[in-house]
Structure 1
């Protein structure tokens, strides 16, 4: 049963929730909407976001429909995992809300950790080549890296800002869980 829970958690959290998380994050970081990966995220999430957008208009740069869609997907994923027995200790609705919020925060932290690792690896392997994935990762990671680079400039041509951001994200993840 643990293997089934692992597979379902991976498919729901890593794939489905992350796609909706990207739908929220990409406009916030001003990622190129014409990027092929951005277009894929938009197409995958439109069936849920567009009907919600009729009910919830955006507030400034914040797409409230996308945020609500992300929360709906996270609630559904947590409910499915709870029904499979992944959270046997959930007995009250307040515990369920806590697990939903913690799962969403953990997903954001893990997403950014993974995105930063990929960003660093791509900068080592193909530093001056263009790819849609590298452009999207750069758009997502630069807002986190920029403040650290101001405080800690590259040392001898080596940029350690991603290392410090990853350490901070992991420390935050440990503190929350």
Structure 2
């Protein structure tokens, strides 16, 4: 692996972009979610969509990892990992894979557990069909559209909405969404 260092993405783009097989961006102690860094990564990925981009960071914060992956990076490497792991992570990204460090997994497990608990709590409150209606309400759909998309009668949709409102102790559709967000998001 040949490695060439640049002090900025702009310098790299001007001198070496076409000859690169991947880009490793060292953000150091900066946060990937900082607007300037996030915009630079977004610009880079937009301009070179097939080029694997990997982030090297002093952090392994899951929020940063997920933001980077949502932007389209192929790896998020905490600087605390050894050089051998770093090289393998870069190689994985260059060959089409995606790398996240095991340091991020405990937080990911915790978030999944919270989401699972919320899902079980909702399942205890609402029926399967009520959940379908709730999903449509969140999209702001009218009763007629909900009925059509769920293959129900409009009167059945109204009954489901009335039951949902009773269970949440609210008076209208807007309050349903507000209460659901308050309880489950």
Higher relative contact order (CA 8 A, sep 6+): 1
TM-score over 0.5 for the pair: no
TM-score (norm 1): 0.28
Structure showing the higher helix proportion among its residues: 1
TM-score (norm 2): 0.28
Larger Rg: 2
Structure showing the higher strand proportion among its residues: 2
